[in-house]
Amino acid sequence: MKHDIGLAVRRFIGENFLFRDDGDAITHDQSLLDAGIIDSTGVLELVCFLETTFGIEVQDDEMLPENLYSIRAISNYVGRKLESRKIELVA
Amino acid sequence: MRVESFLLESARRFPGKTALIAGATRLTYAELAAAAAGFAAELRRQGVQRGERVVVFLQNSPEAVIAVYGTLMAGGVFSVVNPGTKADKLAYILNNCTARALVTEPRLAGTAAQAKVHAPSVSALLTTPYGFAGGPAPRGAGIDLDVAMIVYTSGSTGFPKGVTMTHQNIVAAATSITTYLESSADDIVLSVLPLAFDYGLYQALMCAKVGATLVLEKSFAFPQVILEKLKAERVTGFPLVPTMAALLLQMKHLAPGMFPELRYLTNTAAALPKAHIQRLRELFPAAKLFSMYGLTECKRCTYLPPEELERRPDSVGIAIPGTEAYVVDELGERVKPGEVGELVIRGAHVMKGYWADAAATERALKPGLYPWEKVLHTGDLFRADEDGFLYFVSRKDDIIKTRGEKVSPKEVENVIYEIAGVREAAVIGVPDAILGQAIKAVVAADEGVTERDIIRHCRERLEDFMVPATVEFRGELPKSENGKIARKELVAA
């Protein structure tokens, strides 16, 4: 599951920020901001992508570096959001 | 008065007061002054002489502020360069000002080293973290007629031009601005603006001038983090550009009165849309909102007193204190209210010229009231109302304003022409809700050249804000009668 999220995020970043097909140039833990891959408007585009692709709602107070700084952080964050939604649905 | 005395005087008056907060680092005025003095001594040890140029290629950081003041204490001239700058442009800048020293950080060291190979004047390279101790500043820094800094700004030729400012110029601008902002030692200013941008740099200069505290952040990528900082540090002043305001206003959880300490907001670089002005005022009811206008060549031209905002939301106001701003026709004669002409700026804040570019200097600085005086022709078309309030109409040249940064279409076009198969290229600005203007490339190219090829190449060669957001392909670009590509026709379309 998390693997799939990571792949989708990598593909999105590759296509939209690196302008290649695979996004292979970045590692899982590389800081997207420090590497100059994403800037402030890029963060918004990324959030918009996560919301539409995974059907989650990113709250203002979740738009934090710890949730979005790397592909791994993003995958973990989206995974948690999807998990909590599943619990809500069950309850 | 020299600019480093802002820091030295505050260190004398408020030695234990916090001067700078950057990430986990907090420096008092005494500590900042000592570190800058240590930097100055190190520059001298490395052979930097009075009047020589020191290029500061750093992200917003304590080290960058230390380098700025340290260079001045050594009698040098600083130039802060945007950390997104690529190697060949950095080399161009190093050569243009024949820099003696280059200051950088590990993350940027590769780019710096590549640039240095092509810049034989650079003999000293300093990399953070600084290894030297604080200490007494060297003697003989100079007088206030000396050049203090060079700020590189986009030129319509496609090559950056070095706006050259003396200590007197900076002191005049900083004095005027802190006067109308009513800045004081009680202020705590949060800035995410790059120090390479004069608007960002002046936050550091003006805070030291009045003994205020500067909270320096690297970017606005995570607005939530910045808003928490605003609250935690009880920030009183928050400089914005329109793109930041747009990002801020997109946040879902902001409520009026969340930042009761905030005394003022400033905006410059481009006008705020009326709707954003309204919403900012609702969200920050206790804060005064200053709409301002300026260009690097004189730092700031005008400001709108906040009490006029309701009545004249479209105006950029009046000349900043101690200066004059007026509109002239083609012959240089002042025009009547309502008539459109070029804005001219007169004051002690007007630059001395563009570094090593006499022709461009002559176009911008023209004879003034007295034989010894020059006034700045801004290249911006303005009109004034009956009460003398000024309104921006348009630029005379093709410069694009995006995210508060100036972009020369020519600079981007030059890079696009490097791509094999590109026959014609024109770069224009198109309206964008967040960016102000977004950059669009219109290209005629051979089969096989894709939008992605063009954007990727631009990303490798240009700073982020210069990279086209979209590319349109055409068989041929419109031309003027003399065969030049008619960029204006594309803009109008």
Find where tokens 């960058």 sit: B64
CB-CB under 8 Å, A36 with B464: yes
Same domain, B78 and B227: yes
Question: Based on the structure, what is the number of domains in chain B?
Answer: 2
Which chain B residues are within 8 Å of A20, Cβ to Cβ? 452, 456
Whether residue A2 has pLDDT greater than 70: no
pLDDT value for B483: 76
Average pLDDT over all residues of chain B: 93
pLDDT tens per residue, range B455-477: 989 988 898 889 999 999 999 88
Same domain, B373 and B406: no
CB-CB under 8 Å, B250 with A63: no
d(CA B222, CA B226): 7
Q: How many CB pairs under 8 A join A and B?
A: 55
Whether residue B146 has pLDDT greater than 60: yes
In a domain, residue B388? The reply is no
Residue A18 touches partner B, C-beta closer than 8 Å = yes
Same domain, B368 and B465: no
Shortest distance between the Cα of A4 and any Cα of chain B, in A, equals 25
pTM of the model: 0.90
d(CA B296, CA B228): 31
Same domain, B174 and B310: yes
Average pLDDT over residues B100-126: 96
200-219 of B, contacting A, C-beta below 8 A:
219
Listed residue (B104, B124, B136) closest to B35, CA to CA = B136
Most A CBs within 10 A among B192, B222, B403, hence the mutation to make, goes to B222
CB-CB under 8 Å, B222 with A43: yes
In a domain, residue B385? The reply is no
Phi-psi map region of B78: left, alpha, beta (phi>0 left; psi -120 to 50 alpha)? beta
* Pairing assessment for the beta strands B264-267 and B288-293 based on DSSP bridges: parallel
Nearest C-alpha in A relative to B403: A41
Average pLDDT over residues B327-355: 96
DSSP for residue B284: -
Q: How confident is the model at residue A19 (pLDDT cuts 50, 70, 90)?
A: low
In a domain, residue B343? The reply is yes
CB-CB under 8 Å, B224 with A60: yes
Find where tokens 């989206």 sit: A78
CB-CB under 8 Å, B459 with A61: no
Same domain, B319 and B276: yes
Among residues of chain B, what percentage have pLDDT more than 90?
76
Same domain, B419 and B357: no
Same domain, B301 and B437: no
Q: Say what the ipTM of the complex is.
A: 0.74
CB-CB under 8 Å, B243 with A41: yes
Same domain, B342 and B477: no
Residue A55 belongs to domain spanning: 2-90
Among residues of chain A, what percentage have pLDDT more than 70?
80
Whether residue B350 has pLDDT greater than 90: yes
Same domain, B188 and B217: yes
CB-CB under 8 Å, A41 with B247: yes
Listed residue (B225, B285, B218, B274) closest to B245, CA to CA = B274
Residue B236 touches partner A, C-beta closer than 8 Å = no
CB-CB under 8 Å, A36 with B84: yes
Q: How confident is the model at residue B80 (pLDDT cuts 50, 70, 90)?
A: very high
Which chain B residues are within 8 Å of A34, Cβ to Cβ? 107
Evaluate whether B110 touches B135 at the Cβ level (below 8 Å).
no
Residue B273 touches partner A, C-beta closer than 8 Å = no
Residue B407 belongs to domain spanning: 400-492
What CATH number is given to the structural domain containing B481?
A: 3.30.300.30
DSSP for residue B266: E
Last residue of a domain, one of B380, B411, B435: B380
pLDDT value for B304: 96
Q: Which of B84, B221, B459 sits opposite A19 (nearest CB)?
A: B459
CA distances (Å), B91 to each of B85, B98, B114, B125, in order?
10, 10, 8, 14
Find where tokens 């490339």 sit: B441
pLDDT tens per residue, range B259-312: 999 999 999 977 888 888 999 999 999 999 999 999 999 999 999 999 999 899
CB-CB under 8 Å, A39 with B219: yes
B209 contacts: CB under 8 Å, gap ≥ 6: B6, B10, B174, B175, B178, B183
Torsions phi, psi for B158 (to 5 deg):
100, -15
Q: The tokens of B157 are what?
A: 């030729």
* Pairing assessment for the beta strands B405-407 and B400-402 based on DSSP bridges: antiparallel
d(CA B178, CA B173): 9
CB-CB under 8 Å, B250 with A36: no
Residue A21 touches partner B, C-beta closer than 8 Å = no
B236 contacts: CB under 8 Å, gap ≥ 6: B186, B187, B188, B189, B261, B262, B263, B264
pLDDT value for A15: 79
pLDDT value for A21: 53
Question: Based on the structure, what is the number of domains in chain A?
Answer: 1
In a domain, residue B390? The reply is no
What CATH number is given to the structural domain containing A75?
A: 1.10.1200.10
Nearest C-alpha in B relative to A65: B222
pLDDT value for A24: 63
Same domain, B168 and B261: yes
Same domain, B109 and B210: yes
What CATH number is given to the structural domain containing B308?
A: 3.40.50.12780
Shortest distance between the Cα of B222 and any Cα of chain A, in A, equals 6
Whether residue A1 has pLDDT greater than 70: no
Q: Which of A19, A34, A60 sits opposite B455 (nearest CB)?
A: A19
Three-class SS of residue A64? coil
